[in-house]
A and B are shown apart, each in its own frame.
Chain A
Amino acid sequence: MQTNTPENAAKTTRRWSSRSIGSHLQHQIFYVLIRMGGRRAAYLLLYLVVLYYVLLCPSVRRKSGHYLRRRFPGRGAFGRLLDCYRMSLELGKALVDRAVVGILGPASMDVELVGRERLLEIQAENRGIILVTAHVGCWQAAMSALGFLQTPVNMLMQREPGDIDRHYFEHQGLDCPYKIIDPQGFLGGVLEMMQVLKKGEVLCVMGDRVFGSDKNTVSAQFLGAEVAFPYSAYKLAATTGAPIVVLLSAKTGPASYRLKLAGEIRVPSRPGRGAAAFAPYVTEFVQVLEEYTREQPYQFFNFYDLWSTPDDQG
């Protein structure tokens, strides 16, 4: 089997999708339940909905299996099914919680930030902050908890037409609390990204997914095999001098999240040209991510085969 090297990733069309699994009506039912009965009422329905999808939709089991096979290699069929249920349930809870924050307000969720003081110290360097996060926990919780920095937050984010999940601020018709930079824009939005960092603002990027057929990837060992990860954030850091902060969120209780400053990565200016120069810094992030999957195995939300290559897919 060929590994997922940057060269292969260059040929790859995007393999993940942000398209919602449920219909518009199903989402509305959850929103009504939250309004009428709060988070618990929505969770009750969620347990049944997730059970339905896990038992009756093979695609749900297949999509979660890519990661679960790597994370729990020794599992039997029943164990795998249970893992799939737990992982799907955690994703469902994260989506419900996001809606709860939007509908009932931020006070409905406790968010603890571990590393707050360090984040303020890094901000005081006045070189902007590149906040690298991942599709774990509830990343929107991370966004909503950055107000104390008192600086604009910019998010590199692509949204598909089929994505009907509402972001938390959309429930109350509020303006987006962060500025969205479209990676499909001119030159992948890099000029905008450089500009916000120059102004000392926060730029948030997802470090675990490749947008489109981005050839700017470098491979790193993740859960026992090579995966291509994007290195654009690290190149931006090298060029602008901005520090990289890895901030990951995790659900810690029924109505609580913990955001953790899980890593701090410094990329020297001009480390060299080409992907290999950035491999050590990408690896630092990947090690933090792998550590996260050890601590929170069911809160890793990448439902596609990170480890596959275009050749694997035929």
Chain B
Amino acid sequence: MATVAKLKSILIEDMNLEDIAPEELNADTVLFGEGLGLDSLDAVELVVVIQKHFGVEIKDMEEGRPAFQTIGTLAAYIDEKTAA
């Protein structure tokens, strides 16, 4: 849950989503499309932001596809990588 909370604030600050309050987001919030409203180019920035804050690199499509679904799946991916 700590990762979800940190991820929420990072998304708002680093992705400049100031019009969204942290309490509006939860683990089930979809990152791209209708959810958080991020688009494919935001994914570029998101990869960099995750590496900067968590030291986790999303290397390819196979890793990125399941991780980039919701805030929860991304947090789980980060936890898995940092625990390894």
Contact = CB atoms under 8 A, between A and B. Distances in A.
B28 to A, nearest CB: 20
Contact of B44 (A185, A215, A236): A236
B41 A216 contact: yes
A191 B45 contact: no
Interface string B35-61: 000011101110110000000001111
Interface of A: 185-188, 190-192, 194-195, 215-216, 232, 235-236, 239-240, 273
Given A186-B64, A215-B39, A236-B44, 13 more contacts: A187-B68, A188-B41, A190-B41, A190-B43, A191-B60, A192-B60, A194-B44, A195-B59, A195-B60, A216-B41, A232-B41, A239-B44, A240-B44
B77 interface: no
B47 A194 contact: yes
Contacts of B45: 235, 239
Instruction: Indicate the size class of the contact surface on chain B.
Output: 10 to 19
A186 B44 contact: no
Given A194-B47, A273-B16, A185 B41 contact: no
With a 10 A CB-CB cut-off, give which of B40, B61, B65 has the most chain A CB atoms.
Answer: B40
B3 to A, nearest CB: 21
A216 B41 CA distance: 8
Contacts of B48: 239
A99 B16 CA distance: 49
9 contacts: A186-B61, A186-B65, A190-B43, A191-B61, A192-B61, A216-B40, A235-B45, A239-B47, A239-B48
Nearest to B15: A273
Contact of A187 (B16, B40, B59): B40
Contacts of B58: 191
A273 B60 CA distance: 24
A236 to B, nearest CB: 6
Contacts of B59: 195
Contact of A190 (B16, B44, B65): B44
A182 B81 CA distance: 28
Nearest to A195: B60
A191 B39 contact: no
A225 B65 CA distance: 39
A188 B60 contact: no
A239 B40 CA distance: 13
A191 B43 contact: yes
A270 B6 CA distance: 22
